[in-house]
Every structure is written in structure tokens, then in C-alpha cells.
Amino acid sequence: MRKSVHGQWSSRWAFVLAATGSAVGLGNIWKFPYITGEYGGGAFVLVYLLCVIGIGVPIMMSEILLGRRGRQSPVNAMYTLALEAGRSPWWQIIGWLGVVAGFLILSYYSVIAGWALAYVFRTGSGMFGGATADGVQNIFAALVADPERLIAWHTLFMAMTVVVVARGVSGLEGAVRYLMPGLFILLLLMVGYAMNTGEFGRGLSFMFRPDFHALFHQVDAAGNEYFTWEGVLAAMGQAFFTLSLGMGAIMAYGSYLPAHASIARTTLTIAGADTLVAILAGMAIFPLVFANGLQPAAGAGLIFQTLPLAFGHMPGGDFFGAAFFILLVFAAWTSAISIIEPAVAWLVENRGLKRTQAALACGALAWALGLLTVFSFNIWKDFTPLSGLELFRDSTLFDLLDFLTSNIMLPVGGLLIALFAGWMMRREASRDELDLGEGAAYRGWRILVRYLTPAAVLIVLLNLLGILKV
Ligand code: PHE
């Protein structure tokens, strides 16, 4: 089997760590709680979990298998695999879509990770000692109102990302091996704290008792409720985003995977760890929301407006708070690296750039795009270019970028990946690569990627057209 020019993981376990590092990030701790809050809780969580199992797992297996068989950046891997299977080279569009999605995602990801960086210092310096809900909200509002500060933190985070990407993938095994368990333990501690807020039960029932009415209804400008699939689309988009699927990140990492690692077991480990972290984050945050009279639908600032309340009141809160945000920054860091890897790997393969140059070039572009997000929270916060459509009535540029990437580009990419793995590749090729034999597991995967997964993604995406009412 070919080996990738970019190197190879030292073992299956190293790949599991790196891919988990990619999956676990802001998506789990920042985004999952805030969109769960926006779409009303339990029913959203249920649909999200179904999407992880029925769409995420089969697509992750497909991405890893395509990456490992293609052994190159997603653009070139898809080209090679398409030719190998006797199909149109146009399938490399999967790789290109991913490259574009990567720039867009990293642009805002870095800005939000910058908030987490800022919070390391805010919590560490005791700023939240004895804080009230109002005080915490004001501190957050003051941060995002200041474009210069946001740009400074965004720049720092992007620089951190470029440095690691420049050095290549193998540098990050250690970070994930030690820091991920640390993050997990701190989350458990936070859940333990949440248990004593007095509203733990209410937090749990918000997250786990499905309220389908809340998922399927929104209120329009005139205050009238209307039926919408928006929440289902968001739940599916979140499944893609949190598992790093649909844009080649996992495919790129898969291309560095040793030949004899089990793809199925690997996938289950990664998806399981990722889901667990998200659920724990929700369990830590929602009880705090209710105990402090906050709104679950507060939006993108939710964790920054809730967790500091806990840190401000628990013994040793400054320390734990700073530690928590440091670990969150690390989680975001290991994700950011994977978001840009498809573009960097392509530049190295096709343009002959050194990794350092490629990383710098990609980082610079994503940084510049990130300014759109920075300004969405201050000077352009009332700039809602698509407000003519009900769905985007209050959407800032950041909201639109997030919607375009998570809810459209990643699902479309995932759909094409499933179709390619299920219909375009020769059966023997996917069977050998998955190495599951001819048993039920292989047949189950194949039925999913051929029929059920594409159908599910397509149905949800097509409903987008219905959502786009003016
Ligand atoms: N999965 C990452 C997170 O949850 C984000 C990500 C998206 C990473 C797409 C890679 C590709 O934070």
C-alpha cells in the first residue's frame, strides 16, 4: 500500500487520538449547548443523536476508508480513487468543497477560540469572584463589543494553529493524549457542581425530555408561530460539524492511518467520545442556566455567560476556571489544525510548497475571512444581508457563515462521500479497506451509505427549500 508523503501515524491509537482531537472542540462545548438551547432542548438532542448514529458513523467510516485508500490530500485522493474505480474525475469536487468549507469554518472558529483564550485570563485573574448573572453578561458583552480585542485574540489563536500545522501532524499526539482526559475530568467536575445548583433536574429534563413542538416551531417577526424543519437541519448540521465530517478533515487524517487498523472500531470510539463530551457539556451548563434565571436560547455567548458563574462561586474557581478554558483552547486547537489540513496538504502536493509556507498562506486567508465574524458582533451586528428571508431574519454574517458551512456544505459533502463510497467504488475495494469480512457489519454499512444515509441527508436538505419562505 502507498504511504502518504506527509507521514503516518505511529499506530491506530495515534490516529484515534488525533481524530478525537479533531472531533472534540468548540463544537461540543460551545456550539452544542447553545444550539440545543436555541432549538428547545430534548427533541433537538434526540434528532442530533439519531444523526450521529445513522449519518455520522457510516460517513465517518467512509471518509476514513477513502482517505486511507487514497493516501493523499482529499482533492487528490478523490481524483485517484475516482480513476481507480473508472469514474469521472469530477468526484474530486468533494475535495474542493472541503477545502472551501475549511477556510470558511476556520475563519469563525478561530474568532470563537479567541474568546476562550480571553477567558483564560478573565477567570484566572479572579474577575468572576462572586459574580452575578448580570455581571457575567456584561463582561461578555464588553469583550465582543470591542473589535480590536477580538482581533488580537483571533490573531493569537490563528498563529498557534499555523505553528502546529507547519510542523506536521505527528506533533499533536501528545497534546491529545494528556489534555483530552484533563478536559473530560474538568467537565465531570462541572457536572458535579451543576448537581448542586438546585436545578439539575430541570437542566436534565430540558436536555432529555423531547419537546417536538419546540423543535418544529419558530416565531416570525410578527410574533406568529410557524412550522419549520430548521431545527432538524441544524441538528443534522451539528452532527456533521461536531464529528468533523463532510469536508475532508477526517479523510486527510485517514490518509495517515496505518494499513491494518480497524476502521469500524476506530469510528465508534471517536464518535462515542465526541458525543459523551457534548452531553456532559450540556449537563454542566443547563442547570446553571436555570438556576440563574438565564435564557437557554441566549445564543453564541451561552457558555461564556454561564460557566463563569460557577467558577465565580466554587472554591478554587479561579484555578479551575482558568484550567477549563485552557483545556478548551487546546481542544479547539487540535480541531483547528484538522480544519485546514486538507488545504495545506493539497498545497504541499500540488504546488510544491513547504508545509510552513502552505500553513502560513492558509492561515493568512482564514484570518482575513475571520474579520467578517469579528465585526458581526460589534460594528456590523445589525448588518443582516439576507433578512428578507424569514429564516435569516436576524442572521449576521457570522450566523450566515455558520449556516452555510454546517447546514449546507458539510451535509452536501457528506452526501457525496456516502454516494461515492456506496455506489462509485468497487465493492471489493470498500470491503477490503473496511476489513469487516462479508458479515452483517459490512452489509449494514453498505446499506446505510447506499440508501439510508443519502436519503436522510437529502430529505433534510430538500426541506431547506421549504424553510426558505420569504
Ligand atoms: N469537530 C470540530 C468541533 O466540534 C470542528 C470541526 C469541523 C473540525 C469540521 C474539523 C472539521 O469543534
Q: What is the pLDDT of residues 19-66, one digit of tens each?
A: 999 999 999 999 999 999 999 999 999 999 999 999 999 999 999 999
Per-residue model confidence (pLDDT) at position 6: 74
Task: Categorize the per-residue pLDDT at 256 as very low, low, confident or very high, splitting at 50, 70 and 90.
Answer: confident
Find out whether 306 and 122 touch, Cβ atoms under 8 Å.
Answer: no
Is the pLDDT confidence value at 173 over 80? Answer: no
Residue among 97, 253, 339, 406 to mutate when testing ligand 1 (max atoms within 8 A of CB):
339
Residue whose C-alpha cell is 435569516? 392
Task: Categorize the per-residue pLDDT at 109 as very low, low, confident or very high, splitting at 50, 70 and 90.
Answer: very high
Per-residue model confidence (pLDDT) at position 335: 95
Specify the residue with its C-alpha closest to ligand 1, atom 7. Answer: 244
Mean pLDDT (the chain, rounded): 93
Per-residue model confidence (pLDDT) at position 260: 81
Per-residue model confidence (pLDDT) at position 168: 77
- The residue ranking higher by pLDDT, 204 or 221, is 204
Per-residue model confidence (pLDDT) at position 266: 92
Pick the atom of ligand 1 nearest to 331's CA: 12
Report CA(449)–ligand 1 centroid distance (Å).
22
pLDDT above 70 covers what percent of the chain? 97
Q: What is the mean pLDDT of residues 300-328?
A: 93
Per-residue model confidence (pLDDT) at position 170: 67
Per-residue model confidence (pLDDT) at position 169: 67
Cell of 362: 492558509
Rg (CA), the chain: 21
Cβ 242 under 6 angstroms from ligand 1: yes
Tens-digit pLDDT profile for residues 199-220: 999 999 999 999 999 999 999 8
Cβ 241 under 6 angstroms from ligand 1: yes
* Residues forming beta bridges with residue 225, ordered by sequence position: 219
Cα 354–Cα 359–Cα 363 angle in degrees, nearest 5: 155
Is the pLDDT confidence value at 469 over 70? Answer: no
Taking the C-alpha atoms of residue 258 and residue 248, their distance in angstroms, rounded to an integer, is 18
Cβ 29 under 6 angstroms from ligand 1: no
Task: Categorize the per-residue pLDDT at 2 as very low, low, confident or very high, splitting at 50, 70 and 90.
Answer: low
Strands (E) across 176-274 are located at 217-219, 225-227
Taking the C-alpha atoms of residue 248 and residue 210, their distance in angstroms, rounded to an integer, is 33
Is the pLDDT confidence value at 1 over 60? Answer: no
H helix intervals, 55-146: 57-70, 74-84, 93-124, 133-144
Is the pLDDT confidence value at 242 over 90? Answer: yes
Query: Pseudo-torsion of CA 267, 273, 276, 280, nearest 10°?
Result: -150
- The residue ranking higher by pLDDT, 139 or 259, is 139
* Residues forming beta bridges with residue 227, ordered by sequence position: 217
Taking the C-alpha atoms of residue 101 and residue 75, their distance in angstroms, rounded to an integer, is 13
Tens-digit pLDDT profile for residues 333-382: 999 999 999 999 999 999 999 999 999 999 999 999 999 999 999 999 99
Cβ 22 under 6 angstroms from ligand 1: yes
Cβ 340 under 6 angstroms from ligand 1: no
Residue whose C-alpha cell is 451561552? 302
Instruction: Report residue 139: phi and psi, to 5°.
Output: -65, -40
Helices then strands, counting H and E runs in the chain, come out as 23, 2
Taking the C-alpha atoms of residue 451 and residue 469, their distance in angstroms, rounded to an integer, is 29
Task: Categorize the per-residue pLDDT at 10 as very low, low, confident or very high, splitting at 50, 70 and 90.
Answer: confident
Report CA(329)–ligand 1 centroid distance (Å).
13
Find out whether 32 and 278 touch, Cβ atoms under 8 Å.
Answer: yes
Taking the C-alpha atoms of residue 10 and residue 258, their distance in angstroms, rounded to an integer, is 8
SS3 376: helix
Find out whether 398 and 385 touch, Cβ atoms under 8 Å.
Answer: no
Is the pLDDT confidence value at 172 over 80? Answer: no
Task: Categorize the per-residue pLDDT at 438 as very low, low, confident or very high, splitting at 50, 70 and 90.
Answer: confident
Q: What is the mean pLDDT of residues 289-305?
A: 94
Tens-digit pLDDT profile for residues 80-106: 999 999 999 999 999 999 999 999 999
SS3 229: coil
Q: What is the pTM of this model?
A: 0.95
Residue among 389, 300, 318 at smallest CA distance from 125: 318
Report CA(337)–ligand 1 centroid distance (Å).
10
Pick the atom of ligand 1 nearest to 338's CA: 10
Report CA(335)–ligand 1 centroid distance (Å).
5
Pick the atom of ligand 1 nearest to 25's CA: 12
Cell of 51: 444523526
Specify the residue with its C-alpha closest to ligand 1, atom 11. Answer: 244
Query: Pseudo-torsion of CA 245, 249, 252, 254, nearest 10°?
Result: -50
Cell of 154: 483571533
SS3 217: strand
Taking the C-alpha atoms of residue 336 and residue 366, their distance in angstroms, rounded to an integer, is 11
Report CA(76)–ligand 1 centroid distance (Å).
22
Pick the atom of ligand 1 nearest to 243's CA: 1
Find out whether 200 and 289 touch, Cβ atoms under 8 Å.
Answer: no
Antiparallel, parallel or unpaired: β 217-219 and 225-227: antiparallel
Taking the C-alpha atoms of residue 95 and residue 247, their distance in angstroms, rounded to an integer, is 7
